[in-house]
Amino acid sequence: MCKADIMIDGKKLCEVPVIVDNMGGKSLDITNFRKETGYITYDPGFGNTGSCRSSITYLDGEKGLLQYRGYPIEDLVENCDFVEVAYLLVHGYLPTVKERKKYADLLNENSLIHPQMRNFFRNYPDNAHPMSILAAMVVSLQPFYPEIDLAEDPEKQMDLNVTRLLSKMRTIAAFTYRKIAGMEFVNPNSKYSYCENFLNMMFSSPVKEYVPNPIHIKALNKLLILHADHEQNCSTTAVRLIGSSEANLYAAVSAGICALWGPKHGGANQAVIEMLEQILESGESLTKIVERAKDKDDPFKLMGFGHRVYKTYDPRAKIARKMCDEVLADLGTSDPLLELAEQLEDIALHDPYFVERNLYPNVDFYTGIIFRAMGIPTNMYTVMFALGRLPGWIAHYLEWNHDPYEKIGRPRQLYTGPQTKKILPIEERT
Ligand code: ACO
């Protein structure tokens, strides 16, 4: 095995093993670094830290590559539906016809949520953000479906719990929308496929059954696949970290939902559309918008731009941009926000500030325009992201569960507070 010397002031401190992963990625194994040297490493934002071994998703940010279980994202979007990709992520391989059918049946059998949970929705404030409801409802599933802790056959029970969560979170997402819109809930219907069922629960009325539009169904499948996993991002790391304490799957996924909510992560899809709407309404020039995004004294950032890992065009953004044109053309409609987004992208990509920093559109820049075309309201976009990301979160939770290298997550810190102090009697304190 290859080793690297760590030197301090020209003197060898220790040697650490070098690990080369399946795609040639190199890392220094510092597992015993503190024990052997007394030093820790400092890496805010974990930009250089590999926190686990994972066989789920591979991405190369310099080349703009993304693969789930070895399959390129472009191929998955063209050739699979979301349920197949969810199966792939969770089980590690694409299902056969028989497995696909069994999985679809299991998803249908487990799609209802406990009647008592409907009261939770009703008692939520009408102005609640859908992500708040989603996170609360997912963690609330645990007492209603506690088999995970009682399992005699943990593998079988875990499979059931995974399928349950995939199915029930779709129902919860649709109920969340209807609660906020002040509409009665529509139950899932087993005659529909996964995505059709979701659209039916969203858009049916008690008097008129919604006939799912095939263009919407196709677009939804693709969008959910685009979001299905993205290795150790903020929300997935949250899921793995919570899972590392041996908290249950619902608790870990609920934490992932909360992490996703932020505008620097999945909340960016909502923020992009709000930004574009605001530009359209104010008539502010795009050049000025880009100038503001560059100004360090202005907190404004170009939402949907930049990425920790991609230093070239995000492959998901490339697919989403193409989808915008296709979906709008198929629906025979147009959207002024698409034109605006394309102009904004063009200006930014020719600006030295964005070029020097390798800032390109990320997945969230164009997806909102497609959700908008499907009639999904802006505050639901991050919920849609969460629905897509769910199989990835589950796959990472399960992977952690089976990995002999995994330990409870517990980083160190660089302490910057006061040194040891003595408590003075109260009358002597100033
Ligand atoms: N607009 C203007 N400047 C930007 C932007 C942006 N959107 N993104 C990064 N920069 C600048 C930073 O100010 C920084 O400049 P500096 O070197 O002069 O200090 C430089 O580019 C590097 O950016 P960092 O913030 O250090 O990069 P980091 O990896 O920490 O952050 C992030 C990545 C959070 C995505 C950031 O680019 C951002 O805030 N983007 C806007 C929000 C967004 O679209 N989030 C969705 C990301 S995709 C996802 O999570 C699904």
- Set out the domains of the chain in order of their start, with CATH numbers: 3-41 (no CATH), 65-262+382-402 (1.10.580.10), 268-373 (1.10.230.10)
Q: Which of 59, 131, 264 to mutate to test the pocket of ligand 1 (most atoms within 8 A of CB)?
A: 264
pLDDT higher than threshold 80 for residue 53: yes
Burial state string for 204-216 with b = 16 or more CB within 10 A and e = fewer than 16: beeeeeeebbebb
CA of 351 to the centre of ligand 1 (A): 15
Of all protein residues, the one whose alpha carbon is nearest to atom 15 of ligand 1 is 357
The residues, ordered by sequence, that sit 6+ positions from 352 with a Cβ below 8 Å of its Cβ are none
Q: Which strands form 65-68's sheet, in the order they lie side by side?
A: 57-60, 65-68, 71-72
**Quick one: which atom of ligand 1 is closest to the CA of 309?**
29
- Tell me the pLDDT tens digit for each residue of 349-393: 999 999 999 999 999 999 999 999 999 999 999 999 999 999 999
Q: What pLDDT is stored for residue 148 in this prediction?
A: 59
Surface-to-core class of residue 335, CB atoms within 10 Å of its CB (0-12 exposed, 13-18 middle, 19+ buried): middle
The residues, ordered by sequence, that sit 6+ positions from 171 with a Cβ below 8 Å of its Cβ are 111, 112, 113, 187, 188, 201
Q: Which of 302, 311, 358, 366 to mutate to test the pocket of ligand 1 (most atoms within 8 A of CB)?
A: 302
302 within ligand 1 shell (Cβ under 6 A): yes
Q: Which contacts qualify for 343-352: CB closer than 8 Å, 24 or more apart?
A: 343/286, 344/276, 344/279, 344/286, 344/289, 344/290, 344/302, 347/286, 347/287, 347/290, 348/290, 348/293, 348/302, 348/305, 351/290, 351/294
**Chain mean pLDDT for the chain:** 95
48 within ligand 1 shell (Cβ under 6 A): no
- Tell me the pLDDT tens digit for each residue of 166-214: 999 999 999 999 999 999 999 999 999 999 999 999 999 877 778 889 9
Instruction: Mark whether 307 is an active-site residue.
Output: yes
For 139, 208, 340, 344, 357, the CA distances from 287, given in Å and listed in that order, are 44, 47, 12, 8, 18
The residues, ordered by sequence, that sit 6+ positions from 406 with a Cβ below 8 Å of its Cβ are 52, 244, 400
Q: Kindly give the interhelix angle for 381-402 and 234-243, rounded to the nearest 10 degrees.
A: 40
Q: What pLDDT is stored for residue 399 in this prediction?
A: 95
Q: What pLDDT is stored for residue 129 in this prediction?
A: 98
Percent of the chain past pLDDT 90, that is, above it, reads 91
Q: Which of 298, 307, 367, 382 to mutate to test the pocket of ligand 1 (most atoms within 8 A of CB)?
A: 307
CA of 336 to the centre of ligand 1 (A): 26
250 within ligand 1 shell (Cβ under 6 A): no
- Tell me the pLDDT tens digit for each residue of 141-164: 999 987 655 456 766 777 788 899
Q: Kindly give the interhelix angle for 381-402 and 268-282, rounded to the nearest 10 degrees.
A: 160
Of all protein residues, the one whose alpha carbon is nearest to atom 49 of ligand 1 is 265
CA of 125 to the centre of ligand 1 (A): 33
Using only C-alpha atoms, the chain has a radius of gyration, in whole angstroms, of: 24
With beta carbons less than 8 A apart as the criterion, state whether 57 and 231 touch: yes
306 within ligand 1 shell (Cβ under 6 A): yes
Q: What pLDDT is stored for residue 243 in this prediction?
A: 95
Regarding pTM above 0.85, the answer is yes
- Provide the pairing of β-strand 65-68 with 11-20: unpaired
- Tell me the pLDDT tens digit for each residue of 218-242: 999 999 999 999 999 999 999 999 9
Surface-to-core class of residue 142, CB atoms within 10 Å of its CB (0-12 exposed, 13-18 middle, 19+ buried): middle
Q: What pLDDT is stored for residue 402 in this prediction?
A: 85
Surface-to-core class of residue 96, CB atoms within 10 Å of its CB (0-12 exposed, 13-18 middle, 19+ buried): exposed
Spatial CA neighbour of 134 closest among 148, 113, 154, 149: 113
Q: Which of 66, 227, 359, 365 to mutate to test the pocket of ligand 1 (most atoms within 8 A of CB)?
A: 359
- Among 159, 265, 351, 403, the one annotated catalytic: 265
Amino acid at 180: I
CA of 173 to the centre of ligand 1 (A): 29
268 within ligand 1 shell (Cβ under 6 A): yes
- Tell me the pLDDT tens digit for each residue of 240-255: 999 999 999 999 999 9
CA of 305 to the centre of ligand 1 (A): 7
CA of 266 to the centre of ligand 1 (A): 13
